[in-house]
Amino acid sequence: MAEKGDIELAAVLKRYGGTVAVDTISLKIPAGTYCCLLGPSGCGKSTTLRMIAGHEDISDGDIMIGNEVINDLPPARRGTAMMFQNYALFPHLDCTDNVAFSLKMKGVAKAERRQRAVEMLRLVHMQDYAARLPAQLSGGQQQRIALARALITNPSVLLLDEPLSALDPFLRARMREELKRLQKELGISFIHVTHSQEEAMALADLVVVMNRGKIEQAATAREVFNQPRTAFVARFIGGHNIIDCTVDAAAGTIRLPGHLPGAVPLPARIDGARQPVSVRADRARLTPPAPGQAGFAGTVRAVEYLGSIVHVGIGAEGLGDCTIDDGEFAVTVDERSFFASPVAVGDRVSVSWAPEEVHVLEG
Ligand code: ADP
């Protein structure tokens, strides 16, 4: 038995003419989940959101909310509400009337709808701005009004399409906290479309990484970061080196540079096949490999000081038959360790990592 706010997508497909925008995706979002749909532009995030909202027909498959298949229900009867990227506030209505608008459409009496609107304005800390027009508000304040307007219908699911992209970085971080607070307070699901991995990691209980209309991985932020399923996820989430290696079937391992066989076990694979693995940039060290560790020697190509960490890019010449994106391996070093033994562009350095830091990706 599904709960009232549970959402399930079962083999959902969306075609625009000959283009497949969403390719047979299946996903369960339990009630009360903060879910982020994450991926590059054009991967099908907004289309997925619009199909849940009912603003887009489904070409095939089913969408269920609770125990009900909602494919053919109009948007207003799905128990969902949508907050748009550009907020879409009515310029000639004050904040109270903007927030109360959907209740007016439903025929709720004026006194009651204004009272409910004031409650919503309080929820988003905008009660002091009730009589202002949208043009008299900052971007962040307009967003709060748009949120209140979406929430006044008591949805079981709030859908947000790139809600933070119009804000400056400082405000974005503040509104991020605010969204999370609201979601916890209301106990409903938020489904939030973003192309920012940082935003998804900060907010989501469930991160859904999409690529070319398909779901590459759906898991907690920590799992996506620590166990990316594919090279695409590891690249998109960032902070990983993806190394394309060769399988040594006799030894049951992959051939890593400077590495003794036996330490990185593999599921059965064909000898000589290519196998991608990832190594986190913060888990590699600028030291020669200890016995049993993998590693190589290279030349520093880039040093970026990022405050608490320093990013070092190393041209990886000594990788044997392994290859790496752009031929550059990234190591991040915490600030204090970096300045204890700094390196500069052009220096020869050793890089190493322990076998347990090697994460085998799906080939
Ligand atoms: P995202 O939100 O991840 O940027 P979209 O869901 O907007 O991606 O788009 C997915 C794909 O579907 C893209 O290739 C896009 O060009 C295409 N697409 C989206 N909307 C339409 C439409 N109304 N007509 C035709 N193609 C569309």
Q: Is the CB of 255 under 6 A from ligand 1?
A: no
Q: Would you say residue 262 has pLDDT above 60?
A: no
Q: Which residues of 212-240 are buried (b: 16+ CB within 10 A; e: fewer)?
A: ebbbbbbbebeebbeebbbbbbbebbebb
How buried is residue 109: exposed, middle or buried, by Cβ count under 10 Å (0-12/13-18/19+)? exposed
DSSP letters for 197-263: HHHHHHH-SEEEEEETTEEEEEE-HHHHHHS-SSHHHHHHH-SEEEEEEEEETTTTEEE-TT--TTS
- Top mutation candidate among 12, 13, 19 for ligand 1, by most atoms within 8 Å of CB: 19
Under the banding of pLDDT at 50, 70 and 90, the label for residue 259 is: low
Q: Which helix (H) or strand (E) holds 315?
A: strand 309-315
* Lookup: tokens for 245: 């290696």
Q: Would you say residue 362 has pLDDT above 80?
A: yes
Q: What is the pLDDT of residue 169?
A: 87
Q: Is the CB of 82 under 6 A from ligand 1?
A: no
Q: Would you say residue 263 has pLDDT above 60?
A: no
- Top mutation candidate among 38, 46, 47 for ligand 1, by most atoms within 8 Å of CB: 47
Residue 56 CA, ligand 1 centroid: distance in Å: 11
pLDDT tens digit sequence for 300-341: 999 999 999 999 999 987 677 788 888 899 999 999 999 999
Q: Where are the alpha helices (DSSP H) in the chain?
A: 45-53, 95-105, 110-123, 139-151, 169-186, 197-203, 221-226, 231-237, 335-340
Q: Which helix (H) or strand (E) holds 264?
A: none
Q: Is the CB of 42 under 6 A from ligand 1?
A: yes
Ligand 1, atom 6, residue with closest C-alpha: 44
Q: Is the CB of 18 under 6 A from ligand 1?
A: no
Q: Is the CB of 47 under 6 A from ligand 1?
A: yes
- Top mutation candidate among 13, 14, 16 for ligand 1, by most atoms within 8 Å of CB: 16
pLDDT tens digit sequence for 61-103: 999 999 899 999 999 899 999 987 667 889 999 999 999 998 8
The count of C-alpha atoms lying within 13 angstroms of the C-alpha of 137, restricted to the half-sphere facing its C-beta, is 24
**CATH fold for domain 241-360:** OB fold (Dihydrolipoamide Acetyltransferase, E2P) (2.40.50)
pLDDT tens digit sequence for 188-202: 999 999 999 999 999
Residue 15 CA, ligand 1 centroid: distance in Å: 10
Average pLDDT over every residue of 15-27: 97
**Highest mean predicted confidence (pLDDT) among 18-32, 241-255, 309-323:** 18-32
Closest ligand 1 atom number to CA of residue 49: 6
Per DSSP, 285 falls in state B
Domain 7-225, CATH: 3.40.50.300
Question: Distance of alpha carbon 352 from its chain centroid, rounded?
Answer: 30
Q: Is the CB of 16 under 6 A from ligand 1?
A: yes
pLDDT tens digit sequence for 201-217: 999 999 999 999 999 99
Under the banding of pLDDT at 50, 70 and 90, the label for residue 5 is: confident
Per DSSP, 24 falls in state E
Q: Which residues pair with 280 in a beta bridge?
A: 240
Q: What is the pLDDT of residue 146?
A: 92
Closest ligand 1 atom number to CA of residue 37: 3
Residue 58 CA, ligand 1 centroid: distance in Å: 13
Q: Which residue has the higher pLDDT, 149 or 319?
A: 149
Q: Are 105 and 113 in contact (CB under 8 A)?
A: no
Closest ligand 1 atom number to CA of residue 47: 6
How buried is residue 169: exposed, middle or buried, by Cβ count under 10 Å (0-12/13-18/19+)? exposed
Residue 11 CA, ligand 1 centroid: distance in Å: 18
The identity of residue 208, as a single letter, is: V
Q: Is the CB of 179 under 6 A from ligand 1?
A: no
Residue 107 CA, ligand 1 centroid: distance in Å: 35
Residue 120 CA, ligand 1 centroid: distance in Å: 33
> Tokens 């947000």 correspond to what residue?
160
Domain ranges of the chain: 7-225, 241-360
